[in-house]
Chains A and B, each alone.
Chain A
């Protein structure tokens, strides 16, 4: 019903035009504030663990990897509960609130490795819970022909926060010293501001009367995969996720092969984020015009370009910059665009669950990929490992193109 209403005959000429709903900017602000809070902790955690607490980093990393996998599944729970209660905003609030409270729990658990692992798991659980309902809120508030731009704007605002977080941490370490409480308290304040903006400034449409619709059930969510297009995009995103190696590895190898100084290494993620920030909105807009699938596919071709640059030795800064630009474009062309693609395919009452299914498929595939890649690296040299990934990547791209890339699907 909504689909037909928002797509008059003339809409084709105006695809992507028109104003974005205020909810998109409000949710963008929530993500911006929350990301400042989260990235502050990310930047501080190594210093805190290694330096202040003198904790064993290796064991902690192991624990952290475990939790990361477990909480990825919470996206499905968050999506399902949001649809079942028909209250995505409330579920999102719970998720954001959980993460905010976790920031205050850090100083309480002290130097206990298990305690810190548990707090991080809680923080992640909050992230897992909130992601699908939040994307559903964006998706439900925006007319389908502007979804690419809406998600682009949201992801850009999100990234501004991600870039500001480490700066705030640096400022605190520089001005207030390495005591941990100021970092946690300020991080909590940003998280609390995000919560307030979500509670007060994001309007949620009143739930429509239940009418005769079948209630949302796990079976109904599972039935989503019976829809050919949803199944295909989930499979395609999963297959491509399976051949996506972790960013940390890309940066380590890039630094090594291009031959730039070691000290540049911490700056590489900033390069990707900056390109992502600048390109997310224009590429989202482009995806509204020419179709989301072509843009999503092109993003992965850009990633293929990054992997190609990991092969030859040398090149210095020009190759490094080119690789980071492609890496940023990959994220800009895929992250929000995938949600914009999947959104209209899912009935409104199952929107959060549907987006969660697609996201979880991709996240689990990437997690599996990092494990497989670790095994591969232990067996062969970096060059051979990259070659294997490149081959697998071309296969996955071909498979994805055959699965989804047909006219009328975007």
Chain B
């Protein structure tokens, strides 16, 4: 047997190579042809719609359903995005742009026409548009050349003001203070912006040396200051009175979603939200939604949870990410 194998080494090698190439090629072709893609429905997105990115087909198609009836049949839009957000006619779509793979942030107007694209230095992670549609922000994860730098990562958060066209490539350009001291550490990272109704005040996350802060900033003055430690990925409620964020439940434990009342400074950790790693959105004044990993270990699922902690999280849409309520 051994002798025979050695004598026919080359022939066996060639046959095996052909088999692997045929099997792999067949698999790829089969996947490419697998199921006809649903044509995009006409009709612009409108108030009352719930947008999300459909992960099921792998096509990252943005779909829309009704905010009040998320289990109603959904329709495909023309957009393909890794992350999407939309408000008052402005849509930001973080998507694959070129070999590398590289990504870009495409900003679209109410007619779904691209008005600006900005190249991204990493993998899309957070996307937001202010309620007025004037301020667009996004965060990407910047990765090293190997799998990852040991224990390290960095983020880039950009903000685009559509009124002036001014682009902040990174929040690191802003002056930041924590506890009254200027924060100039090299390893500072920012992510997850939420802009208030005045289109000037914003909240974001600052991380440095294994600590995180909720920072409150001013887009005009280009400043930020730390207001609370340990709060990440903020999201302002529609009335601007509450702020939802994820916070660690232990030192290295999983995150949970918490809601802080900005007037009373009362914080409430929401039930059964352990493991959240997303910037939550307010579906309405009482309910939040976010992407998370279900217990089954499958792809991202969109969950919803009441903001007062009166009930545990519930599945809203399976195999989906980036919930966008068009209030």
- Collect the chain A residues with CB atoms within 8 Å of residue B154's CB: 252
Q: Are B300 and A53 in contact, with the CB atoms below 8 A? A: yes
Bound CA span A369–B91, Å: 44
Q: Are B145 and A247 in contact, with the CB atoms below 8 A? A: yes
Write the nearest CB–CB distance from B323 to chain A, whole angstroms: 12
User: Main SS of the interface on chain A?
Assistant: helix
Contact with A along B163-198 (1 / 0, CB 8 A): 000000110000000000000111100000000000
Q: Are A62 and B296 in contact, with the CB atoms below 8 A? A: no
Interface check B148, CB cutoff 8 A: yes
Contact with A along B289-327 (1 / 0, CB 8 A): 001110011111000000000000000000001000000
Q: Are B124 and A246 in contact, with the CB atoms below 8 A? A: no
- Collect the chain B residues with CB atoms within 8 Å of residue A269's CB: 145
Bound CA span A69–B151, Å: 12
Contact with B along A249-290 (1 / 0, CB 8 A): 101100100000111111101101000000000000000000
- Which of B10, B142, B147 is within 8 Å of A64, CB to CB? B147
Q: Are A193 and B20 in contact, with the CB atoms below 8 A? A: yes
Q: Are A54 and B277 in contact, with the CB atoms below 8 A? A: yes
- Which of B13, B104, B254, B299 is within 8 Å of A199, CB to CB? B13
- Collect the chain B residues with CB atoms within 8 Å of residue A170's CB: 96, 98-101
Contact with B along A140-181 (1 / 0, CB 8 A): 000000000000000000000000001101111111111101
Interface check A320, CB cutoff 8 A: no
Interface check A398, CB cutoff 8 A: no
The interface-forming segment of A11-19, A42-50, A214-222 is A42-50
Interface check A57, CB cutoff 8 A: yes
- Collect the chain B residues with CB atoms within 8 Å of residue A247's CB: 144-146
Contact with A along B1-24 (1 / 0, CB 8 A): 000000001101110110011011
Residue from the set B16, B151, B153 with the largest chain A CB neighbour count within 10 Å: B151
Interface check B125, CB cutoff 8 A: yes
- Collect the chain A residues with CB atoms within 8 Å of residue B14's CB: 200
Bound CA span A111–B300, Å: 9
- Collect the chain B residues with CB atoms within 8 Å of residue A6's CB: none
Q: Are A52 and B299 in contact, with the CB atoms below 8 A? A: yes
Write the nearest CB–CB distance from B317 to chain A, whole angstroms: 14
Contact with A along B106-147 (1 / 0, CB 8 A): 000000000000111111110000000000000001111111
- Collect the chain A residues with CB atoms within 8 Å of residue B23's CB: 189
Interface check B287, CB cutoff 8 A: no
Q: Are A200 and B9 in contact, with the CB atoms below 8 A? A: yes
Whose C-beta in chain B lies nearest to the C-beta of A247?
B145
Interface check B39, CB cutoff 8 A: no
Q: Are A367 and B24 in contact, with the CB atoms below 8 A? A: no
Bound CA span A57–B23, Å: 34
Binding site for B on A (CB under 8 A): 41-43, 45-47, 50-62, 64-66, 68-69, 109-112, 115, 120, 166-167, 169-179, 181-182, 185-186, 189, 192-193, 196-197, 199-201, 246-249, 251-252, 255, 261-267, 269-270, 272, 367, 370-371, 374, 377-378, 381-382, 385
- Lowest 9 CB-CB distances: which A-B pairs, in order? A200-B13, A263-B119, A65-B150, A248-B144, A179-B58, A177-B58, A110-B297, A189-B24, A269-B145
Binding site for A on B (CB under 8 A): 9-10, 12-14, 16-17, 20-21, 23-24, 27-28, 31-32, 55, 57-60, 82-83, 96, 98-102, 104, 118-125, 141-154, 156, 158, 169-170, 184-187, 209, 252, 254-255, 277-278, 291-293, 296-300, 321
13 examples of A-B residue contacts, CB within 8 angstroms? A43-B101, A47-B101, A51-B124, A111-B298, A170-B100, A177-B57, A179-B58, A200-B12, A248-B145, A251-B145, A262-B119, A267-B102, A382-B186
Beyond A61-B148, A178-B82, A262-B158, list 14 extra A-B contacts (CB 8 Å).
A46-B123, A46-B148, A56-B277, A111-B298, A177-B59, A179-B57, A186-B24, A196-B13, A262-B120, A263-B104, A267-B100, A371-B150, A378-B185, A378-B187
